[in-house]
Structure 1
Amino acid sequence: KKGMSLDLATAKENVKKVSEKYGLAINPDALISDLSIGMQQRVEILKILFKGANLLVFDEPTAVLTPQEIKELYKIMDNLIAEGKTIIFISHKLQEVLDISDNITVIRRGKDITTFPTKDATKEKIANAMVGRAVLFTTEKPVVEIGETVLTLKHVSVKDQFGVLKVEDASFTISKGEVLGIAGVEGSGQTELVEALTGLRDTCSGEMILDDVLLKRKTPRKISMLGLAHIPEDRHKRAAISQFNVMENFALGLERDEYSKNGLFNFAKLKADAKMFMEKYDVRPRNIDTAFGRLSGGNQQKIIVARELEKKNNNLIIAGQPTRGVDIGAIESIHKLILNEKAKGKAVLVVSSELSEVLNLSDKIAVMCAGKITGILDRKDANEEKIGILMAGGKLD
């Protein structure tokens, strides 16, 4: 600063120097709004380095990055380490922890369970420490004959509440016994697409057809009654009331159609169902009077999954970020439950920012970038590199 004016030339030069020193490759003149999510993250790192920080905490830094951007982040972190910086890297993705760390500390329920050198670690060892038992990382997909089409999207476009186009010209189908996974960094239009399918948002063009019925302008309740079950990406915003107890949360959305008759609510049936669902889906503790908000993330999610999968009519199941915020043991359980629905011949749409989840569950994978479906791959042809290219808006040769 010179007098009352900013010395922008010196600031620009200093930004360039720090950027080049750590391999951040940031243009000082670029507008933040024009940068990719990966580049915006580099700017955040640069801001910290500019202040002279020697200890950097990366908290789930890859959640909104493509596979290629993750590799670039690793290089930047290597440069930081080479310059003598110390990094605390927090992640629930075990492969990332193995790829980037020197030592690993496992925290369970707020306590430091164990610490060991990364050279002595395996996915199995870390997972065992995280949940206290052996965990399966892949779930065997049942062999199911693909049946008739359940859901068809034809050139669907969706705007957000501000009139900004969030989904553009999306087309795909899902059939009985088939799992379609949607991959993409968060904010690529997946949320708005699911909101349109479930009646929470209007489409501005195109057709959505569920079992030969057009969904346009149908209410969420009517769409649910047509046979759609919805596990929302944000269970607290869309699926549960934290202050209500477990039994009451099992009733949400079903209170008029499954637990009421002639204006009378059947508490006895709800209570019996709630106890049965807690046992069947291994929700702990087994107390239907426990407040939903007092349960762990994994047990909260199991309640939402149980409620949606146990509906009398659920030909199409939409699972948005189905394992977000749950431990690796609950992930294993939820994946099995989703694949059980496939085995029953249900059509399933899984939306996830976790590539490993999409690859583990899907028969077909649709990739979204900036509101567009940039490609649809058969699972046998898909890998992280191909999906990463499509996630960044590129094209496959």
Structure 2
Amino acid sequence: MASPVLPKLVGERVKRREDPRLIQGRGTYVDDLKITGMRHMAFKRSDIAHGTITKIDTSAAEKMDGVEAVFTGADIAKILAPMPIGTPFPSPPHFAVAVDTVRYAGEPVAVVIAADRYVARDAADAIVVTYNPLPAVVDVEAAMTGKPTVIHKDFPNNLAVALVPSGTGVAPDFSVIDNTAVDKAFADAEVTISQRMVNQRLVPNAMEPRGVLAHWEPGKDTMTIWSSTQNPHILKTMIAAMNGLGQHQVRAIAPEVGGGFGAKINIYAEEYVASVVSKKLGMPIKWIEDRSEAFVATTHGRDILGYIDLAAKRDGTVLGLKMRLIADIGAYNMLLTAAIPTLTMLMANGTYKIPAIRTTLTEVFTNKTPTDAYRGAGRPEATYFVERAMDMLAAELKMD
């Protein structure tokens, strides 16, 4: 039997197989899916950045035609444990729907299930939430100095993660650190550069916002969940665990995904809530994020402050680098939140041979939307810091 002839790929124009159906509008996205008996889900979200919930009045929403169920955070907490994270760092409890305190604008505080998407949204708007506002922490440096408002009681000074090298050997930030060598590099330097740099926070803003459809089938004891996700295998694992199901009972499907850029790696509150509500009510539950929600409910990217120092000789030889990083991770740890800034540390020197490097990292809670992966996930931040510092050194030395 002759061996199959493999197509030549290197140097050839290889056509993408998925393009024809997508450019002809024949792709299938989460919002295209419809199941008999499907209900729509909408969220009431906090309109303040920080405060305690003193009262939630759902009576007007419950009376609206087409509304089938309304859940507060306390209701959801009875059927859904706090959301897990994917890193080993300490993390405060994070309920999918806030129970007694909101910590960022856009945090869910109630859930509506209705026969129609627009009824669900109108009903969510009809829910009245009374808050006792608390000071909002929005400056990452102020958040950890003096006597700031504490966002999570078990995290004084709002410090989520602090990775500070011990001095020699392999440090907690996974880098090889020799403080003596770094200090000597700067003592011997003929020129030094110091700069405070901000890698700003941003909204990923994919063309297709997030969406989920969860379908619990009581007769089969199985859950199928469709999601606009980059991470269907972990979604399956998490949904099974949070619903007390075996892996064999859950099927996770990622249909066409209209952009993700890292932000759809996370497993979100809306996915967990859709699954437990579908199981509780015994009907398919669908949620589609609107653009305004996407700005506050989908994880943000970047938001790392860097204090950068370079030591060099007049001939352009770089002797040492110090990089002190402060990451504003927002109100909670999400799936990979705490891990992303560690990648900035790992790539501190970029493509340059720098014999002595010291990096430190502090991750800080603030009253903002949580951050997580976004395009390059920590590595573009490192590139910006070191390349900007090298530009400044080149300008100082009048050297390309």
Is TM-score (shorter-chain normalized) higher than 0.5? no
Q: Which has the higher contact order (CA 8 A, sep 6+)?
A: 2
Structure having the larger proportion of residues in helix? 1
With normalisation by structure 2, the TM-score equals 0.22
Higher CA-based Rg: 2
